[in-house]
């Protein structure tokens, strides 16, 4: 069984963040900034991209278990439920994990564990993905990674009954139906997956309210962020590009400013409400 260090127990004076999709880009920047702030972190990466997080492993390893890292692929429901410890240096008190023991079962067994903020950042963009050209597999890949995987991840976390303060889904202005971006040639499957994510998380927020569950559900547009995923040649000029550092710093302020009355709403990194 994975022995999560005492610093991740709810009776300690700190804030605990779970970052899903932390190997690179925005997710990796969340972990970097949270480590610098002295927060406590549980982070997941997809195994195929684990090399992107090598620099973070060393930093987290020197923090004596403040950052717990796991492999979890949102394309696989089994992987969401059966995450394994990524690197022994990150979890100095980790023992051999039974592969049959699920990640949710492991964290459910920890007394008094509380997760203040969950950021579900996993996402992909395979460009181009036009409605007139994209294959069945290309559409499916975007929907699985950007919509179904994030929603199922949140679902499994909520089913643990661990107290969770806020769940943030990383959305995009491309997923807004009210502000349709006609110039975004080759974004059909990506935009559709983000629009579907937006609708699904709004239903999740409404369902939780009906159950008197105070977990806050938010959608975030991070801005036009210069990441590996955004490093594609586009046929239009992208305005207002910002760094991951700038985006994450501002998003953390936005996330922490929202209460239960904001559950089921869509915000930009600049703390402006965004149209669905």
The most confident of 4-18, 182-196, 216-230, by mean pLDDT: 182-196
Give the pLDDT confidence of 70-103 residue by residue, as tens digits.
766 666 666 556 554 544 334 333 333 333 346 6
When the pLDDT of each residue in the chain is averaged and rounded to a whole number, the result is 82
Total residues found in the chain within this entry: 276
Name the least confident of 72-76, 105-109, 250-254: 72-76
- Nearest Cα neighbor of 163 from 47, 3, 4, 8 is 8
- Nearest Cα neighbor of 25 from 125, 104, 110, 97 is 125
Q: Give the count of beta carbons closer than 10 Å to the beta carbon of residue 245.
A: 13
| CB half-sphere exposure, 2, CA atoms < 13 A | 27
Alpha-carbon distance 187 to 174, whole Å? Answer: 8
Alpha-carbon distance 3 to 249, whole Å? Answer: 31
- The tokens describing 135, both together, are 């294959």
- Sorted by where each begins, the domain ranges of the chain are 15-59+67-72+97-273
Which position has the higher pLDDT, 132 or 237? 132
| CB half-sphere exposure, 171, CA atoms < 13 A | 34
Q: Which CATH superfamily is 15-59+67-72+97-273 part of?
A: NAD(P)-binding Rossmann-like Domain (3.40.50.720)
- Nearest Cα neighbor of 185 from 125, 131, 123 is 131
Burial class (CB in 10 A: 0-12, 13-18, 19+), 220: buried
pLDDT recorded at residue 218: 98
- The tokens describing 126, both together, are 């395979």
Asked if 255 and 220 count as a contact pair (C-beta separation under 8 A), the reply is yes
């Amino acid at each position: 069984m994975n022995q999560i260090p005492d610093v991740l127990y709810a009776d300690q004076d700190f804030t605990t963040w779970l970052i899903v999709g932390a190997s690179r880009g925005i997710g990796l920047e969340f972990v970097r900034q949270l480590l610098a702030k002295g927060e406590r972190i549980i982070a997941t990466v997809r195994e195929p991209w684990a090399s992107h997080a090598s620099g973070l492993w060393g930093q987290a390893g020197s923090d004596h278990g403040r950052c717990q890292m796991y492999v979890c692929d949102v394309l696989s429901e089994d992987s969401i439920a059966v995450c394994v410890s990524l690197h022994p240096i990150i979890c100095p008190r980790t023992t051999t994990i039974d592969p049959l023991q699920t990640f949710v079962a492991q964290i459910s067994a920890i007394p008094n564990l509380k997760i203040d903020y969950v950021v579900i950042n996993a996402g992909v963009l395979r460009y181009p993905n036009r409605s007139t050209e994209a294959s069945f597999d290309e559409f499916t890949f975007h929907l699985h990674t950007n919509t179904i995987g994030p929603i199922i991840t949140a679902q499994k976390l909520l089913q643990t009954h661990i107290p969770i303060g806020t769940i943030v889904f990383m959305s995009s202005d491309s997923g807004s139906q009210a502000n349709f971006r006609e110039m975004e040639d080759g974004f059909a499957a990506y935009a559709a997956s983000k629009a579907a994510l937006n609708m699904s998380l709004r239903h999740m927020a409404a369902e939780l309210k009906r159950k008197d569950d105070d977990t806050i559900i938010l959608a975030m547009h991070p801005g036009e962020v210069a990441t590996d995923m955004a490093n594609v040649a586009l046929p239009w000029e992208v305005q207002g590009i910002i760094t991951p550092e700038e985006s994450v710093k501002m998003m953390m302020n936005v996330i922490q400013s929202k209460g239960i009355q904001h559950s089921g709403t869509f915000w930009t990194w600049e703390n402006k409400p965004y149209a669905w």
